[in-house]
Each structure stands twice: as C-alpha cells, then as structure tokens.
Amino acid sequence: MSQFEFVSVGLALVYSFATARLLAAVPWVFRSERRYWVHMVWFGVVMLALVATWWQVWSFRDVEWNGIRFLWALSIPSLIYLRAGALISQQPEAQTSWREYYFAARGPFFGVGIAILVNSGLMPWVMGVVPWFERAPVHGGMAVLLGFYTIALMSTRPALHGGFGVLNFLLLVALLARSTYTDVQPF
C-alpha cells in the first residue's frame, strides 16, 4: 500500500461521516411544510463541496506525505463536517422552521466557510506543490467566496443569501469540471 492510499483511507472516513450527516437529514430538509429554499441551496453547496474536495484529493497522489500534510489534508473534510453540523441541527426532525434555523446558525456556518477558504488558500504551500515564500497561482473564486461569506455573515437578507448560495454552487461546479477535465492541479 502506498502512502497516498494509506492517507486517502483516513480522508475517506471523514468524508463519509460528513456525507452521512447530510444524507440523514435529507427527509427533514426537503419536507414540504418545513423547507426553506435558501437553506436547501446551501445544503446543496455543502454536498457538492464534499464531492469537489474529495475529487481534488487525487491531485495529492504525488505528495511526499508527513504528519503535518496529513493533518492539513484531513482538516478540509473535518471543516466541511463542522459546516454541515452548523447547517443541520442535531435533531433535524425537531426543526419547525429551517428559515429561522438557517439565519440563527449563519455565524458558525459562514465562519467555518471562511476557515475552509483560508485552509484551501494555504494548501499549495503546506502540501509542497508551491515552495514556501513563492507566489502561488491566484484563484479569483476563493477571493469572491471570501467576500460573499463575509457579507453573508453580517446580513440577514434572504435574496442575498440565496444568490450567494447559487453562485457558490456554480463556482464549485466549475472547480469540479476544471479538475475533472484538465490535468491542471487545482491548488
């Protein structure tokens, strides 16, 4: 077994926990009398983030692994798991209004989202794809998302949250397509 295979098993476990957390809540999130469209959009964003980031793990196949790199790689699915936890209550069947829950949980949800972006922004250096103190390729999508998350953290406007969610979803689709159909490293 190669180092990458060994590491990817550990990552797969955390990805599966996050996926299970979201899938267990599907009947409650999409129940007609409780659903809230903005919450459903962000639910889709978190699900797609799991798929996109798991797919990007393949770009680390040639990394020379050590404990720090493993922990850094493990932090992405762990943060997504925390984000899913902020979006979905411990008892989703008890939620009477996903709208109220979403806006009450927006602080932790977008706070963890910012942590994911910071983590992803540092990924090229930590993983050794780019040598320390050299400039990494700039990804405008991350800067856009950082702006969205910062604004969403402070705003309670539903249309703004919904629009940001749709744009976030489209950026994730583009990232997934780029990393699927090109040989370019995503980081």
**CATH at residue 173:** 1.20.1410
Establish if 187 belongs to a structural domain: no
Domain that residue 36 falls in: 3-181
Give, to the nearest 10 degrees, the angle between helix 106-126 and helix 67-87.
160
pLDDT bin (cut points 50, 70, 90) of residue 181 is low
Highest mean pLDDT among 15-24, 52-61, 93-102, 175-184: 15-24
Establish if 186 belongs to a structural domain: no
Q: Measured in Å, how far apart are the chain's first and last C-alpha atoms?
A: 25
pLDDT on residue 27: 92
pLDDT on residue 187: 43
Establish if 108 belongs to a structural domain: yes
Q: Is the pTM of the predicted complex or chain greater than 0.85?
A: yes
The number of folded domains in the chain is: 1
